[in-house]
Structure 1
């Protein structure tokens, strides 16, 4: 997972750390990053796609 996290942009990494490792909601991710909720959702989704690909997960 560490290698997958290194493949993310800083923005994606911050959002994922808050959401998944911090247990925060999309709103709770958006607030400290001072971004719209939709942007937080996008960063988390895009970051998870990159992480999934790096980990070699198939559906």
Structure 2
């Protein structure tokens, strides 16, 4: 998948979703670590990551 296409899709996410996904996937942090870094509950971190990934999948047309 083209990196530029992924970056453009990331830009369509909400800022909280972008932050959480960048930390988890580009930074390699666990859900627990993402929650600590963003000072949010673990469940919120998981939700932001999951919802962001769903939106990315839809934008990129991945099944």
Structure 1 and Structure 2 fold alike (TM over 0.5): yes
TM-score, structure 2 normalization: 0.89
Match of residue 43 from structure 2? 38
Paired residues in the alignment total 58
Q: Which has the higher contact order (CA 8 A, sep 6+)?
A: 1
User: What per-residue deviation string (whole Å, max 9, x for no partner) do you get for residues 29-58 of structure 1?
Assistant: 001100000000000000000001111111
Aligned Cα root-mean-square deviation (Å): 0.5
Unaligned ranges ≥5, structure 2: 1-5
Q: Quote how far apart the aligned CAs of 1:3 are.
A: 1.2
TM-score, structure 1 normalization: 0.95
Superposed structure 1 runs of 4+ greater than 4 Å apart: none
